[in-house]
Amino acid sequence: MRWFWFATFTLICSLLSIFFRQPLILIAELFLIDIFLTRKVKWLFWIPKSAKRFPPWLNFSCWLLFTIWIIRVLAIDSITIVTSAGKPQLQPGDNVIVSKIHYGPRLPQVPFISQKSYHRLAGLSGLSAIKRGDLLAFNFPEGDSVLEDMASISYYSWKRKNESKNPNFSTPTKVRFRPLGRRSPEISRCAGLPGDTVIIPSAASSSLQISYDYLIEVRNQQLPQDFVDKLGLGATETQILPGLGYLIPLRPDQLAFVRLRPEVNSLAAHMMEPGKGDYNIFPHDNRYPWNRDNFGPVIVPRKGDMIRLTLLNICIYKRIIEVYENNRLEILNDQICINGLPTNAYTFKQNYYFVLGDNRHHSRDSRHWGFLPEDHIIGKPVLIWFSANKGPDQPLRIFWNRIFNRL
């Protein structure tokens, strides 16, 4: 058993030396060798004898839980995929290993020292920087508030939908706050880095991993089951539009297969027109008539950059200033005030990112809730270690061909 603990703490020291970029941390290996192997020095002389009489199984359990906690905080974690937003690379039921080593681990809040729920020290920059196209695991930014009886949906999206129908709408149920670590984990692809200007045109992407909804008209008004199975469609991904046909997500490599099917009469991309605004698309303001297929231009905030604030663009950065960076924002007599002081500029305290789901028309991403704060990022998804799913009235199905797939 002592060899097990020696190997465990050796791994922890090695990870810490990498995170802090301080090889001197490896000197701790000399102490570990004596503590667990040679035992020449009584390092625990300060512990009273009464505390050394705990059963071995209790000591083992405590050390095991502590080791698992350290590994989850500093090295790796696991996330279960529950939506189709990342298809085809990520499917519902995939259990994904997330590496916190790549981008640097988040350190939990230290009471009475840090006011942030998570923070990254300058020395914990990780093994690589975030790049465009990287998959990012993060805590859902709009998950800070949930309805007690509808915790699985986005409270803000639900509220905007009801307010668009009734301007005098008031929440009829209790809203509960969730700390950052308790918000649902999600995975999307980085499309904009800090300082980038993001524009989403109406033209569909040619990437083989990106899918969009297409309207399909069939001759017999019903899609054959073998057709649905070959496309790998889930139960929630197929919509029927009366009098029009089927609305299903397709990738560029699937279009030729669909067009050649004898029962298909026509096939057309289901894209929204430019200038046709959507209440559920960020920044949720009529002055920005953006939609899921035509978005921007918008600048992704970068730490240290100063933005000029106006009554027109304040809706874009309002949540950052108020929620993510803990300021009091008011507009008094057409004057923007932050923490009680009139201002026309703001300097960002952390980096932000713009993320998109690969299944573009079935994803809640930055188009819907805005910018992803750096302190919400958990890490980089690297491996599917298990994949299984259970549908309604169906047995558990294990997808053996997806296990140990690298991302």
Distance from C-alpha of 284 to C-alpha of 106, rounded to nearest angstrom: 30
**pLDDT, position 112:** 42
Least confident of 22-26, 177-181, 237-241, 276-280: 22-26
Question: Beta-carbon neighbour count of residue 207 at 10 Å?
Answer: 12
Predicted confidence at residue 135, as pLDDT, reads 95
The Cα–Cα gap between 119 and 397 comes to 39
325: tokens are 């960076």
Query: What is the model's pTM?
Result: 0.82
Three-state SS sequence of 270-320: CCCCCCCCCCCCCCCCCCCCCECCEEEEEECCCCCCEEECCCCCHHHHHHH
Asked if 102 contacts 128 with a C-beta cutoff of 8 angstroms, the reply is yes
Contact (CB, 8 A) for 134 and 89: no
Q: What is the CA radius of gyration of the chain?
A: 25
The stretch 145-158 carries a mean pLDDT of 78
Q: Judge contact between 304 and 287, C-beta under 8 A.
A: no
Band the pLDDT of 228: cuts 50, 70, 90.
confident
- Look over the chain and give the mean of its residue pLDDT values, rounded to a whole number: 82
More confident residue, 168 or 252: 252
pLDDT value of position 337 = 95
Residue 102 pLDDT exceeds 50: yes
User: In this model, does residue 124 exceed pLDDT 60?
Assistant: no
With H, G, I as helix, E, B as strand and everything else as coil, classify residue 94: strand
**Which domains can be identified in the chain, with CATH numbers?**
2-74 (no CATH), 75-140+184-194+353-407 (2.10.109.10), 212-269 (no CATH)
Tens-place pLDDT, residues 32-78? 777 777 777 765 555 566 655 666 656 656 766 777 777 777 788 88
Q: Classify the phi-psi angles of 320: left when phi > 0, otherwise alpha if psi is within -120 to 50, otherwise beta.
A: alpha
Is it the case that residue 116 has pLDDT exceeding 60? Answer: no
Higher pLDDT, 91 or 244: 91
Percent of the chain predicted with pLDDT > 90 = 35
Residue-wise pLDDT for 321-338, tens only, equals 999 999 999 999 999 999
Secondary structure of residue 225 in the 3-state scheme:
helix
**Mean pLDDT value of segment 89-114:** 77
Greater pLDDT, 395 or 376 = 376
Four-point Cα dihedral 233, 239, 242, 243, nearest 10: -50
